[in-house]
Amino acid sequence: MNDLSAFPITKKWPARHPDRLQLYSLPTPNGVKVSIMLEETGLPYEPHLVSFSTNDQMSPEFLSLSPNNKIPAILDPDGPGGKPLPLFESGAILLYLADKTGQLMPKDAAGRWETVQWLMFQMGGIGPMFGQLGFFNKFAGKDYEDKRPRDRYVEEAKRLLGVLEGRLAGRSWIMGDAYTIADIATFPWVRNLIGFYEAADLVEIRNFPQVTRTLEVFLARPAVARGLGIPQRD
Ligand SMILES: N[C@@H](CCC(=O)N[C@@H](CS)C(=O)NCC(=O)O)C(=O)O
């Protein structure tokens, strides 16, 4: 069950503990979703750093597991039927880990689907739109004289924050009292938007007190604090 040698990714990133779930990642907002989830669940795992500075994500070994050349990806030696399971896409990985551990997902069917809905809201809205805002505000796009592309994503980020703000009114977490994978997917992106992407003033984050209040509680969780630094950068 623990023989991972058939997976080319283990040639570049050897498994020292082949009985543990293998994580290939970098502490970006998508990457930390999975390390936070693993820290929250207590599942034993072995993290491997996929360095963008050496273009590791384009190596044949990484592409053999994650053909879209994006982190995070996992290889679970103990997947369904006891067979190894490779997986990429952070939303799919969060769903898989919730299913495997029975944690961070409501038990009732209606609550489960509502959680999946908010997970998809993050995957299809918050992640891609905040990411574009990061490009136009912090990275190469900031030098463009024409600010219309940046402003388009500022407006879209504000709109999405407004949706989240409305959802959190009267609730501790996205799913009410239950802390779930929807929170784990969403709040690393809010943190990044107002931190690393330096867009707090642009999106007028002060107008979203429910969002910032929940972000603070999220960041105070010990598993979140640990997960934000995994895998350790060189
Ligand atoms: N939808 C994907 C997006 C993952 C993603 O965008 N990962 C970025 C880092 S946050 C990446 O690996 N970029 C490397 C590249 O594009 O070459 C997921 O949620 O897993």
Last residue of a domain, one of 51, 68, 103: 103
Ligand 1 within 6 A of 69 CB? yes
Ligand 1 within 6 A of 180 CB? no
Does residue 45 sit within a domain? yes
Between the CA of 23 and the centroid of ligand 1 the distance, in Å, is 14
Q: Which two tokens stand for residue 125?
A: 């809205």
Q: Does 96 lie in the same domain as 24?
A: yes
Q: Does 155 lie in the same domain as 91?
A: no
Does residue 183 sit within a domain? yes
Once rounded to an integer, what is the mean pLDDT over residues 122-137?
98
How far, in Å, are 18, 186, 190, 199, 234 from residue 194 at the CA level? 38, 13, 6, 5, 25
Q: Which of 24, 30, 87 to mutate to test the pocket of ligand 1 (most atoms within 8 A of CB)?
A: 30
Does residue 3 sit within a domain? no
Ligand 1 within 6 A of 90 CB? yes
Ligand 1 within 6 A of 157 CB? no
Q: How many domains does the chain have?
A: 2
Does residue 16 sit within a domain? yes
Task: Encode pLDDT of 133-165 as tens digits.
Answer: 999 999 999 999 999 999 999 999 999 999 999
Matching residue, tokens 């600010």: 147
Between the CA of 129 and the centroid of ligand 1 the distance, in Å, is 13
Q: Find the CATH number of the domain harbouring 89.
A: 3.40.30.10
Task: Encode pLDDT of 73-118 as tens digits.
Answer: 999 999 999 999 999 999 999 999 999 999 999 999 999 999 999 9
Angstrom distance (rounded) from CA 198 to CA 192: 8
Last residue of a domain, one of 76, 103, 130: 103
Q: Does 99 lie in the same domain as 120?
A: no
Does residue 227 sit within a domain? no
Q: Does 82 lie in the same domain as 161?
A: no
Q: Does 215 lie in the same domain as 129?
A: yes
Between the CA of 62 and the centroid of ligand 1 the distance, in Å, is 13
67 is in which domain, residue-wise? 9-103
Q: Does 198 lie in the same domain as 113?
A: yes
- Residue whose Cα lies nearest atom 2 of ligand 1: it is 89
The pLDDT, as a whole number, for residue 2 is: 74
Q: Are 73 and 65 in contact (CB under 8 A)?
A: yes
Give SS3 for 47: strand
Ligand 1 within 6 A of 101 CB? no
Q: Find the CATH number of the domain harbouring 175.
A: 1.20.1050.10
Q: Does 185 lie in the same domain as 146?
A: yes
Last residue of a domain, one of 77, 103, 129: 103
Q: Which two tokens stand for residue 207?
A: 């107008």
Q: How much of the chain exceeds pLDDT 90, in percent?
A: 98
